[in-house]
Amino acid sequence: MPTEHDHPLGTLGSYLRDRRTRLDPATFGIPLTRRRTPGLRREEVAQRANVSATWYTWLEQGRGGAPSAPVLERIAQALLLTHVEREHLFLLALGRPPEVRYQVSEGVTPRLQRVLDALELSPAIVKTATWDVIAWNRAATIMLTDYAALPPAQRNVLRLVFCDPRVRAAQYDWEGVARFVVAAFRADAARAGATAQVEALVDELSRVSPEFEAMWKDHDVRSYGEGVKHLRHPVGGPIGFEYSAFAVDGRPDLGMVIYNPATPEDAERIRDLIRSAP
């Protein structure tokens, strides 16, 4: 087991001790009488985590080997660790983050929506790991898709690319775009642990789109990252964008994509379209 000086982030034992002593025994209905030190006792954490008190004591003392992932999960629950604290626990103990737990996203915070709204000439969306669009700005409505006019279940990037004729007509290289979307979607869903959640969508699109079915069977994976995208707007004509994808800190289930005008001329076209839109 490494010492404090071996690991720049500290040791597992010291981290566990710190989290344990920060807990309030009253939270767990434990009487506060005859307690010399703050927080829970080692045997109390061990009982909550369903492990031996002796073994847990050794763990805090840096003795023995690293615990298994299931044991770490129980310890994280026993110590009421937050998502970030749980991740740090796994990094210290196993040198890797925990397995991803996919959670359905219902929306974004008002603060994040204000970030989108501040991007006047840059279409921007927030999408889930299963590529449902759950937030967007006015520029995205005018330049990409009027998401508000769609039922929530239809605000999915794959459904739009493969099933919406308007979205298809806006792409200069629809097949190239579609292949990229399928490959990046596959990678995102797997990274987020959402494989089971996408089965119904994949089955549905495979039935209605032979093109999707063929592309899905290729098993390609891509990173969204950043790049250049050209659209054929029905009113503004050809418009170029430079796009960048960002993770939303504290929300591993969400990603934000921003499309910046590629040239001053593109920015001017977008400005005119936004001004003239109802």
CATH code of residue 202 = 3.30.450.180
pLDDT attached to residue 4: 39
Task: For the chain, give the DSSP string.
Answer: ---TTT-TT--HHHHHHHHHHHS-GGGGT---TT--SSS--HHHHHHHHTS-HHHHHHHHTT-S-PPPHHHHHHHHHHTT--HHHHHHHHHHHHSSPPPP---------HHHHHHHHT-SSS-EEEEETT-BEEEE-HHHHHHT--GGGS-GGG-BHHHHHHH-HHHHHTBTTHHHHHHHHHHHHHHHHHHTT-TGGGHHHHHHHHHH-HHHHHHHTTT------EEEEEEEETTTEEEEEEEEEEEETTEEEEEEEEEEESSHHHHHHHHHHHHH--
Same domain? For 53 and 123 the reply is no
| Within-domain flag for 57 | yes
Residues spanned by the domain of 272 = 110-276
| Within-domain flag for 5 | no
**Domain end position, chosen among 66, 94, 122:** 94
CATH code of residue 59 = 1.10.260.40
**Domain end position, chosen among 94, 118, 142:** 94
Confidence of residue 105 (pLDDT cuts 50, 70, 90): low
**Domain end position, chosen among 64, 94, 124:** 94
pLDDT attached to residue 8: 41
Same domain? For 83 and 117 the reply is no
| Within-domain flag for 101 | no
- Which of 22-31, 58-67, 147-156, 194-203 reaches the highest mean pLDDT? 147-156
Instruction: Look at residue 131 and tell me whether its pLDDT is greater than 70.
Output: yes
| Within-domain flag for 103 | no
Same domain? For 220 and 266 the reply is yes
Q: What's the total number of domains in the chain? A: 2
Q: Which of 22-36, 99-113, 174-188, 213-227 is predicted least confidently?
A: 99-113
Instruction: Look at residue 179 and tell me whether its pLDDT is greater than 50.
Output: yes
Same domain? For 159 and 250 the reply is yes
Same domain? For 271 and 149 the reply is yes
- Average pLDDT along the chain: 88
| Within-domain flag for 138 | yes
> What is the model's pTM?
0.70
Q: Which of 2-16, 41-55, 217-231 is predicted least confidently?
A: 2-16
Query: pLDDT of 62-103, one tens digit each?
Result: 886 778 889 999 999 999 988 778 888 888 888 887 876 666
